Structure 1
């Protein structure tokens, strides 16, 4: 049986899809991102407790869309000329200009709110696909030693949602075996306490395991070395953030883009190199990065580049359709073709149905 894909490859692939979703408000394009992420998550997931995380994130995305629409109806936002209905409006002081309570609800504003909510829901679906496909513990083993302590906290945070899903499934199965199956709102009340108790118990077990393995040791390094490592890593992260912002913002000065990105990368690499001596640990059967991982990450990058570099004639103008006045969204040609390339992991990754 072939080995499973590197968890870092799954996260990079999902982040590339999230980059596509952050670039467009076209509902057709966002729906295609959700379809691609869901298809790959269902096709490539393994028989693990967190394999059903995508469905939970998808349902939460639907809730986000509903909340965004409700906020728009109650508080207003983008206006328009096509009034669908009007709610009783509450007068507000002059300093609250731009905010209203009640009032007319237009079709243009409602479509804008739905598109914004759909964008947030798509980002959640991308994160859900990564949670369903990647093993967080394997990802922790693969990270550099300098990021070990930070990565432990990040991995623990990323596993909260999968652990809650696994706990809810086990509690529901146990109650069903006792003939106490419940559904709807009452099921939430019944499952809430045992699920939270199970999550706290897992956290205590994880904390005890970390303490027994010497988590937080500094390998006898002097204070100056630790300060230098932290300064380099922090400076590198700031440089990377500023460089990415400069590349994405066309109005930013040229020096803020590529030069800051290169400088931040150099500082981050130097910090990781100096900090690699801080935590000394061995790896049993380390995860390797091979051709299939490169193909998975490359397919995500193709989707992202196809969206960010698409000219106006090949779909770049259709990424952000207008809402005032309303326009029928068109499927962007080049971004859609690039996004379809993101299904390559289905052809290369190990698949095991739940």
Structure 2
């Protein structure tokens, strides 16, 4: 007997029918026949097509929480020059980036920030070598030829003796700035710029678009350079040196121009810059609240930093923040836009932001109680030590590596274009 070409294979339903494989005897059964066989009830999809319950909780974290966490770590880095604590902050941020960075083009910008931090550190050391340092020292490492300068350039020298104290001071200072840059790079690698734009208040929408475009320029540029260099290597053409740079640079600039034109057309088609009609009194109130709030924030911050303004610094800062938020809320009424699937600020976002704020607050407390441990001296030159409880406070910044979903969960939600 000739066998049918479909023997041993399930017969699929015809086009337009709503059938599934299953039922009695292993055949394609309709939902109604399945209900009849099971004695009623609602039809359920096959097991392999069902979404597990725990998958609903693996939504990406709010991008604002990543930025608050990274900025808090950067604030903590400004409170110390201890290289051991700064290295611990770098390790904490790098570990969170390595475990929670999504597989997207903009997330590859962390490597560029690492190279930028190394360049800043080397430039700071080079300045200390060539231009000298105001830090006195007795341990002379080398003596460079010193160039004479006119009398109006007093305080600046070119060359001369290079001491270990001056180089150590420059290393601590440059490492602090490098740590701050790496914390900002962690926010760029973890938070989606497009999702962050959706979360901004309506009054800051135009400003947010400009900032997001500026932040995504570097990742797109790096991705274009990597793609063109790989294409030239596959074709057996040089991708290094001056010749390779010229052949790669022109297509990169052309792609950037095309992307800018396409972005401008998309923004114009979506009504970028359109505002609603608002009464003049509301506009004046919005401007007064926003400007007054920003001035209050500046005055309150100065009061907290200055020794004489500790009494009024915090109340003025809180009043300025409240006025600025009220101005932003009123200014949002001028923006006519809707949000598609807005990100939720859930308990995980609160915990991530709170972990970064705890690191910043505890290091600020440690800097006021034990300044010698967080700012090791260079005159006389002493080896830095690792203070225990400030180091334990820095480790609180590792909580996002265990509280947030992995990079595969961040890729399940399609990025808005």
Normalising by structure 2, we get a TM-score of 0.79
Question: What does residue 5 of structure 1 align with?
Answer: 61
Matches of 1:179 and 1:64 in 2, distance apart?
Answer: 35
Number of the residue aligned with 2:401 = 346
Q: CA deviation at 1:224?
A: 4.6
Change in CA separation of 1:190 and 1:290 when aligned onto 2, cut-off 3 Å: same
Q: Extract unaligned runs of 5+ from structure 2.
A: 1-54, 412-417
Q: TM-score if structure 1 supplies the norm length?
A: 0.93
Larger radius of gyration, structure 1 or 2?
2
Q: Which residue does the alignment assign to 2:381?
A: 326
Q: Distance in 1 between matches of 2:136 and 2:241?
A: 37
Structure 1 residue 105 corresponds to structure 2 residue 152: no
CA RMSD after TM alignment: 2.1
Give secondary structure in 1 for the equivalent of 2:113. Answer: helix
Q: Please say if residues 79 and 367 of structure 2, whose CA atoms lie closer than 8 Å, have aligned partners that are also in contact.
A: no
Q: 1:202 aligns with which of 250, 253, 259?
A: 259
SS of the residue corresponding to residue 78 of structure 2 reads helix
Q: Given the alignment, which residue of 43, 47, 64 partners 2:120? A: 64
* Contiguous gaps of at least 5 residues in structure 1: none
The answer to which of 291-300 and 251-260 deviates more is 251-260
> 1:187 Cα shift?
5.4
Q: Contact 1:50 / 1:165 at 8 angstroms: preserved in 2?
A: no
CA distance in 1, matches of 2:104, 2:114: 18
Higher relative contact order (CA 8 A, sep 6+): 1
In structure 2, the partner of 1:14 is: 70
1:164 aligns with 221
Q: Deviations over 1:133-165 (max 9, x none)?
A: 100110010111111112212222222222222
Q: Partners of 1:280 and 1:325 in 2: how far apart?
A: 62
Q: Residues 131 and 162 of structure 1 are in contact (CA less than 8 Å); yes or no, is this contact kept in structure 2?
A: no
Is the counterpart of residue 37 in structure 1 residue 93 in structure 2? Answer: yes
> Aligned partners of 1:94 and 1:205: how far apart in 2?
56
Match of 1:151?
208
Residue equivalent to 1:28: 84
Residues 296, 317 of structure 2: 8 Å contact kept: yes
Q: Deviations for 1:49-77, whole angstroms, at most 9, x for unmatched residues?
A: 02221111011111111111111111111
Name the count of aligned residue pairs. Answer: 352
How far did residue 223 of structure 1 move? Answer: 4.5
- 1:183: how far off? 4.4
Cα deviation for residue 169 of structure 1 reads 2.4
Cα distance per residue 1:276-316 (max 9 Å; x no partner): 21102111111001111111111101111110012677x54
Match of 1:264 in 2: 320
Query: How many Å separate the matches in 2 of 1:200 and 1:352?
Result: 31
**Partners in 2 of 1:197 and 1:225 — Cα distance?**
45
The partner residue of 2:282 within 225, 229, 233 is 225
Separation (CA, whole Å) in 2 of partners of 1:190 and 1:248: 51
